[in-house]
Structures are given as structure tokens and as C-alpha cells.
A and B are shown apart, each in its own frame.
Chain A
Amino acid sequence: MNFDRLSRCLFLAALAAPAAMEAQGFGLNEIGSCAVARGFAVTSIPCNDPSEIYWNPSATTGLQGWGLYVGAAAVQLNGGFNADSTGRSYPSDVPAKFPPHIFLNYTPRNAKWAVGIGSYVPYGLVSQWKPDFPGRFESQYASLLSDYIQPNFAYRIAPGWSIGGGPVFGISHVELRQGIDLAPVPLPGGGGITFGQVGIPTGTQFASADLKGTSTAWGFNVGIHGKIGADWQVGARYLSKMKFKYNDAGVQFTQQLTNLVLAGSNPLQLPAGTPLDALLTPQFSPGAPLSAGQHVNTEIDHPAQLQAGIGYTGFTNTTISVEYAWIDYSVFDTLGVNFVGPANDAGLSHTLIEDYKSSSSIRIGVEHAFAAGFRGRVGFDWIGSPAPDVTVTPLLPDTDRRNYTIGIGLPLGASYTLDAAYLHVDTSGRRGRLVSRTIGSPSATETADELNSGFYTLNANVFSLSLKVNF
């Protein structure tokens, strides 16, 4: 197979694979099993495989010949919400996810340059709750899946020092499914009085909304890597912000029966026994606010990432790396949901307030080459949450995390290496809210104490397998 044929084939595979395998269960950066095992501290002392295209695009000059790195992680999230008012617990319902990664690199023998391509998923989340979860009106199911395709070129600018990078083409899919609560809906001709004011309890679901959209964006990923003396290495990478605009995303409203029946002498002065659902059905008729075939526009800025660190190779067969990563989540300040059509005319468009802050993390990784030929790896991360106290939500109940990682690299003959890793994401949980916080609503100015009504728990287990092929 010549380079052109192989690259075309793998490029197509890279495009197709993540979507087909429903990549990324949560924002864990599980891009390559070696990197997972070393606690993602692989920018200063890169893993010796083509996943460097993401972790440090300049370091691929250190590889030799053709290299293919392909694999996937199995991500299992365990979370839940404990409601203050009832003491009841609502476990999350997130199915296991299998985000893949695939990288191809070519570094000619004794050359100063390297070229490659990679497909990876640096951002994505899936949150899903059971139908009785009281926060389903904020989010019952949310999926953000952003595949980045990155051609890469690296060049050794001086002995031990390389730079590299490449453009990034992103394809992002977003889906949000949520219940629609009848309580805040204005009564027909009611002068602003809502169903809630006449006794329909908050959390009475009469419809569901399913929003699906796709967008593309361009960005870049660059890096630098160098050796200081015989025992030290340094590296840094920068992945640019990418703005995804999901225009004309589809939205489907579906009526759900409340089975509520009005009692006698009701405030609506309707006959006793009047089913509420019959009053609501016209809202789903053509041209009505919740009619079929409507669209919605939104945009999500994917944050820039900066990671830099230093590694020590002075111990025999052992490397230690300590790195700092910064992700500019401050770009995720609002999330507009702008309907096009009757839903917008009915005032259903809104802007969610997120107010995320930049996030920092410390990443530590150790690798040791054992005499038997395999490599053992361990790592630890501390990751500060970008979510403020007022934005711990069903969509993403984010909290500070601690990652504990372990893994192994097992040679399988001269050309193959199998990397395996296990990552446990541990958190202490965090108080959070169930309800939306939108611009212009009273909740916009409420404090976390006023908004939060329960406690979210969250942990995750990740198993990652990657196969490295040199040829």
C-alpha cells in the first residue's frame, strides 16, 4: 500500500469511526491508552506512539517509520442526584460509551520531519437520566460529540528540539432531549397567569423536546518539544478554540399525557372532569408553538487547551513527568436556544447561563520499562471544575475530579504493542440545581444557595485498549 492510498483510507476511517462508535462518554481526554495510563502527563515526555499528534504535535519527529495507533476506551459513568426535599436518590442512566482514537504517522529514517493524521475526540459528554428524574426539564439526555481531524507536520529545528502542528477540522454533533413542564406555561388567555399558579405542580411534563444538530469548525493544534541535557525533557501544546454553530438544527416536540382531570369549581371554570390534555393538544397542531418540523439555532464554543510540563528521564528505565493543563472554559458562558418558527414567536427561545470559568489541572505520570520487556505506567490528576456553584446541572453536574490511572504496554512481537489502561475518576460530589437558569428570569440573579436543591454524585471507570503497529 502506498502512502496516498493508505492515508486516504485512514482519513475516511477517522471520519467514520468516532461517530459510529458513539465516542466520548464524558470529558476525560481518553485519547490513547498510554496517555490514559500516565495520567495524561505526556506532553513533556510523549508516549512513543502516533497519539503524539494530539498530545504534542511536535514530538512525532522522534518516531520512526510508519506508525499506526488505534484503539478505544470503555467509559462507564456512575452518578446520581439526592434531592433535599424528599431525600430520594435518582441514579443516572448513562450507558457505557466507547470513544475511539486513531492516528497514523510517518517519520522517515534519519529525517528531520514527520507527517501524520489523527482523529480524536477532545470534547464530548453524554448525560442521561431516567424518566422520573426531576431535573429532566433541564436535561433528560444530552450528547455532545466533537470529532477533531488533524493533519500534522513536525520538524526538528535543532538537535533535541522540534516544533509541529496542523489544522484541525471539527465535526460536532449535539443532541438535547428534555421534558417540558406545564407549570410555567401561560394559561390560554390568562393574562400571564400560568398553569402553576392555578395548581398544576412544577414538574408536570406535558411534552418532550428533542433537539439535534451538526456543525463544523476549523482550528489548529501546535506544539513544541525539547530536551535539556541528558535527563530532562520539556513540552507544550496549544489547541485553539473552535466555534461550532449549529444552525437549523431539528427540534421535535412530542405531547405527553398528563392524565390530569379538572375538579369541580376549578379556577378555569371548566366542567368537572375536563381532561387537561385535551386543552393542550392544539399546541401541537401545525403552526402552533409546539408543532412539528421546527428548527433551532445554537452555538457552542469549544475551549482552547494549553498543556505544558517537564519530565525527568534520569532514573534507569523510568520516566516521570509533571504537567499543567489549562482549558479556557470561560468561553462557555451562555448557551442560546433560538427557535425558528412558532416556538420562537411563542417566546420559547431562551439563553441558558453557564458562566464557566477557566479550568486548571495538574497531571503526573510515571512509566517504567521492566526487564521482562513490558512497560508499567501509573498516573494521577487533579482537575479543577470550570463550573461555578450555580451551574452544577443535570446537563453536566461537574465537580473537581481526581483521576487515578494505571496501565501496561505489552510488546507483541517486533511490530506490535498492546497498551492497556484503567482510569478511575473520583469526585466528592457537589451540590447542584435541577432548574434552568436563563437570562431575564428571576433565577438569573439567584445565588447557589437559592438555586441548588440537592447533591450530585459522580465517578467513572475507564478501560482503554490501543494497538500500536510499526511498519
Chain B
Amino acid sequence: MFCNRYLARGVAAILSASAVTACSSDNGILGSKPADPLFQTYVSMGNSITAGFQSGGINDSTQMQSYAVLIARAAGTGFRVPLLNKPGCPPPIDNFLTQHRVGGLTGGDCALRTPTPTPGALNNVAVPNATSLSPTAAVPGPDTLVETALTTLILGGETQAQRAAEAQPTFVSAWIGNNDVLNASLTGILPATPGVSNGVTSLAAFTTNYKNLVKALKGIKSIRGGVLIGVVNTANVPLLFPASKLYDPAVKGGFDLVAGTTTTIDPTTCPPTTTSLINFQLAAAIRAHTHPATVYCEPLPAPFQPLGNVYVLDAAEQAAVTDTVTAYNTLIAAEADTLGFAFYDPNPALVALKTSNAVPFFPDLTAPTAPFGIYFSLDGVHPAAAAHVLLANNIIDAINAKYGTSVPHTQ
């Protein structure tokens, strides 16, 4: 029948993963009747958070916990989600200490999708890893660098903007831009460095990308409203913990437990007053012997680079990230005004979770299934179900305030 050696080779690579393919009959919320005509058809664009990525993985359970799904449910509108079979693609981590994943599989496994039983446009077109460039990016192009198997698995050969247009939405949400700063924040390397860090997208490039997105939205004539969501200040993600906390013996003990050795705190770059943030993944790097068992909190001079730089976000870098995110969000708020959309800045709510200690400053290793509390998933970056509820309700408030609607809060 079909005979193409390239296809055969490519498919063979995913066959092992497909062996664990499970059936998924649930294809999102179907058959609902919107409470307000504004939500006749709702489409959500974005990246991993909107897609429902949690704990370093994604499957049909995490997808249905996305704030976008919750908003659709609250608005009573039909919503098609590109559901990924369990255990996932990749399967989410279900134990922080062992890094065990659902189904006992690895981060390279993918259980593929179960196609929807009936034809119909997707409503959640968000793709993990997407940057501000992705929604309208030409293929092939620069966006290829951040594309993953999930790009095809979710979008099936089109862009987010194209899939969104096919749905003829009356209402749109877009939460894009987090990945323009996230990877740089986690690696601690702000300039783009091939193979190490994607870098921070410049404001000029971000502006061009975002205006392309806005142009695409303006081209969808069915849209009657929407909400643009600001970029998260990635310096605040729970995976980054204050280096000064390593002077707490309990924290240091936990860190060493994961690192698999007794680490040393470099007293020169890491005084007790340091304000640097350390990516907890440093402990894993030490365990894997890809980083010496010493924690540095400031960049070391050559020839010791990148020690003290990689996995470390020092005060200057934190300020740079914060300033960049603030500039991004100023732009996004202005574009929301241009479109007549609502705007929601998620940062105050997320910061409040940290300041109220609802999110621990350091992963709780005594709770390996919830080391970052109930609001953040096991990867320390992506919101968990409770945070999605919080975000959904805040966004609903912003929508109701903008449009005078009365979409109820979700539970």
C-alpha cells in the first residue's frame, strides 16, 4: 500500500512508544450551550500552560485541567481539546525524588493521540514550547528550533493562527511569551547560546512577533472579544530557589540528598546575603557529575565559566528578566486595548502564592508527589490543577469586567 522509507523510518521511531497507546474516548467538552453569545466558539492560543502541560509531561488528564478548559466549561461553550493518550507525550512525572513517570515510561515516550470521532475544528490550539514567534511562524523557519513532536501532534501541519481561524471563534484567549524568557531564566544564561540557552527574546523581536499575532487575530472576522494574558515573570518560578536558603541545614540536607553527595557552598560567591536564585536542577546535574559538587552563586571568571552562571540567576539577571517581562506586558496590554480585548497580568496572583507560602521556597522533599504544594506541578515550573482554577477565575473576572458578562467562577 504505502511505501516510503522515510515515513517507515520515522514511524518506527515512535512505534515503541505507541505500544502503550491507550484509548481516550473523551474529546473535550461537547454539546454545551454557551451562556453568552460571546462564547459561541472559544479558542485558546498559547504554550504549555494553556495546553495543560504539567510535571514535565502532558496527557488527557492534565490537558483537561487547563485554565482554558475551565473557562470554556464555565462559559458553557463546546471545546475541543487535542487529547493525548495516557500515559502521555511524554508521560508526566509522578514522583519528584525518583523522577518516575506515569506508566513507568521515560521522557522520550509518546502515546500519541486518539483522533476525535467527528470532524471539527480544535478549540485549544496551544502548543508546549511555543514562543511569541510560533503562532504565526512560517514552516520551515526560525520557529523550527522550538518545535517538538507535540507541535505536529497538536496542530497537524498548520500554525496556531491557522487552526484558530478554522474554528471561526467568537472569543479568543492568547497567553504567549513565557517561553521567550523561561529557558534563559532556568539555565541562567540570558544571551542565546546554541545548545545551552534559547536566550531572551529581544523586545524588538517580541514586538514584531506579537504584532503578527495581533494581525492574525484581526484577520479572523468572527472574533467579537478576547483576552490577552501577560507573560509570567519566570524569575518567580518555584524551581528557582534562593541560594541563601542553602545555609538552612534542612534545605542543604535536602539538596545534598538529591545531589547524591555533600555539596559545598562557595563562600565567596554565595555569602548568606546572596540574592541569587538557584535552579534546583543543579542538584541533578551534580548527581549526574555534569557539574562539580560546589554551588557558586555568581559567575566565575574564565576559565571557570560557566560555573556560577549556569543554573544561577543572579540579581542582575533577575532584574533583566523582570524588566523584559514588564516591557512585554506593557506591549501586550496596549495590544489588548487595540483589539478591544481584556488584559490579565498573572504575576500578582503568582507572587502572592509565594509570599503567602502557599508555594514553598524550596521543594518539600518529604512530599515527593507534591514538592511544590498544590499550586505547582512536579516540574516546579508549570501550574498544577489548583493554580489553573485560580488563574481561570481571575481571567474570568477580567473578562466579565471588560464585557459585562457574568461567566461564573469555576470550581
CA distance A272 to B34 in the complex (A): 38
Q: Contact flags (1/0) for B8-31 with A, using CB distance below 8 Å?
A: 111111110010010000001011
Kindly list chain B residues whose C-beta atoms are within 8 Å of the C-beta of A198: 14, 112-113, 152-153, 156
Q: Are B1 and A266 in contact (CB under 8 A)?
A: no
Q: Are B10 and A265 in contact (CB under 8 A)?
A: no
Interchain nearest-CB distance for B114 vs A (Å): 7
**How many interface contacts (CB-CB < 8 Å) are there between A and B?**
193
Once A186-B2, A189-B4 are accepted as A-B contacts, the answer to whether A199 and B30 lie under 8 Å apart by CB is no
Give the contact stretch, choosing among A85-93, A151-159, A376-384.
Answer: A85-93
Contacting A at CB under 8 A, from B126-144, are 139-140, 143-144
Nearest residue (CB) in B for A204 is: B156
Q: Are A186 and B154 in contact (CB under 8 A)?
A: no
Interchain nearest-CB distance for B169 vs A (Å): 10
CA distance A198 to B155 in the complex (A): 10
Q: Are B119 and A137 in contact (CB under 8 A)?
A: yes
Q: Contact flags (1/0) for A57-90 with B, using CB distance below 8 Å?
A: 0000000000000000000000000011111100
| Cβ of A196 under 8 Å from chain B | yes
Q: Are A267 and B157 in contact (CB under 8 A)?
A: no
Once A191-B11, A289-B1 are accepted as A-B contacts, the answer to whether A86 and B114 lie under 8 Å apart by CB is no
| Cβ of A111 under 8 Å from chain B | no
Q: Are B78 and A202 in contact (CB under 8 A)?
A: no
Once A187-B7, A266-B152, A279-B7 are accepted as A-B contacts, the answer to whether A435 and B118 lie under 8 Å apart by CB is yes
Q: Are B117 and A197 in contact (CB under 8 A)?
A: no
Nearest residue (CB) in B for A451 is: B117
Find the residue from A134, A188, A289 having the highest chain B CB count within 10 A.
A188
| Cβ of B204 under 8 Å from chain A | no
| Cβ of B41 under 8 Å from chain A | yes
Give the contact stretch, choosing among A116-124, A169-177, A254-262.
Answer: A254-262
Interchain nearest-CB distance for A147 vs B (Å): 35
Q: Are B31 and A84 in contact (CB under 8 A)?
A: yes
Q: Contact flags (1/0) for B114-127 with A, using CB distance below 8 Å?
A: 11111111100000
Once A188-B8, A191-B15 are accepted as A-B contacts, the answer to whether A85 and B31 lie under 8 Å apart by CB is yes
| Cβ of B167 under 8 Å from chain A | yes
Q: Are A201 and B115 in contact (CB under 8 A)?
A: yes
Nearest residue (CB) in A for B158 is: A260
| Cβ of B147 under 8 Å from chain A | yes
Q: Are A188 and B30 in contact (CB under 8 A)?
A: no
Q: Are A260 and B2 in contact (CB under 8 A)?
A: no
Nearest residue (CB) in B for A273 is: B140
Size of the chain B interface, CB-CB below 8 angstroms: 58
Q: Are A187 and B11 in contact (CB under 8 A)?
A: yes
| Cβ of A434 under 8 Å from chain B | yes
Q: Are B115 and A184 in contact (CB under 8 A)?
A: yes
Q: Contact flags (1/0) for A195-238 with B, using CB distance below 8 Å?
A: 01111111110000000000000000000000000000000000
| Cβ of A415 under 8 Å from chain B | no
Q: Contact flags (1/0) for B154-176 with A, using CB distance below 8 Å?
A: 11111000000001100000000
CA distance A188 to B10 in the complex (A): 10
Kindly list chain B residues whose C-beta atoms are within 8 Å of the C-beta of A289: 1
Contacting B at CB under 8 A, from A25-63, are none
Interchain nearest-CB distance for A195 vs B (Å): 8
Q: Are B168 and A88 in contact (CB under 8 A)?
A: yes
Once A194-B115, A197-B21, A202-B116 are accepted as A-B contacts, the answer to whether A84 and B30 lie under 8 Å apart by CB is yes
Q: Are B157 and A261 in contact (CB under 8 A)?
A: yes
| Cβ of A367 under 8 Å from chain B | no
Interchain nearest-CB distance for B128 vs A (Å): 12
Interchain nearest-CB distance for A21 vs B (Å): 35
| Cβ of B92 under 8 Å from chain A | no
CA distance A409 to B143 in the complex (A): 74
Q: Are A276 and B11 in contact (CB under 8 A)?
A: no
Nearest residue (CB) in B for A278 is: B4
Once A85-B78, A193-B18 are accepted as A-B contacts, the answer to whether A261 and B139 lie under 8 Å apart by CB is yes
Q: Are B6 and A270 in contact (CB under 8 A)?
A: yes
Once A266-B152, A453-B118 are accepted as A-B contacts, the answer to whether A197 and B18 lie under 8 Å apart by CB is yes
Q: Are A199 and B152 in contact (CB under 8 A)?
A: yes
| Cβ of A444 under 8 Å from chain B | no
| Cβ of A421 under 8 Å from chain B | no
Q: Are B30 and A453 in contact (CB under 8 A)?
A: yes
Once A263-B147, A270-B7 are accepted as A-B contacts, the answer to whether A434 and B18 lie under 8 Å apart by CB is no
Q: Are A193 and B7 in contact (CB under 8 A)?
A: no
Contacting A at CB under 8 A, from B373-395, are none
| Cβ of A428 under 8 Å from chain B | no
Interchain nearest-CB distance for B232 vs A (Å): 24
CB < 8 Å neighbour of B78 from A87, A282, A443: A87
Q: Are A273 and B139 in contact (CB under 8 A)?
A: yes
Nearest residue (CB) in B for A201 is: B156
Per CB-CB distance, the 6 closest pairs between chain A and chain B, nearest first, are: A203-B119, A260-B157, A189-B8, A196-B115, A188-B2, A269-B10
Interfacial residues, chain B to chain A (CB-CB below 8 A): 1-15, 18, 21, 28, 30-31, 33-34, 40-41, 77-78, 80, 82, 110, 112-122, 139-140, 143-145, 147-149, 151-158, 167-168
Q: List 20 A-B contacts (CB under 8 A).
A: A84-B30, A84-B31, A188-B1, A188-B2, A193-B11, A196-B115, A197-B21, A199-B157, A202-B117, A203-B118, A260-B156, A263-B139, A263-B143, A263-B147, A267-B10, A268-B152, A269-B9, A272-B139, A282-B3, A435-B117
Assuming A137-B119, A187-B11, A269-B13, what are 16 further A-B pairs, CB within 8 angstroms? A186-B2, A196-B113, A198-B112, A198-B152, A202-B119, A261-B157, A262-B157, A263-B144, A263-B152, A265-B149, A267-B112, A268-B10, A269-B10, A282-B3, A283-B2, A453-B30
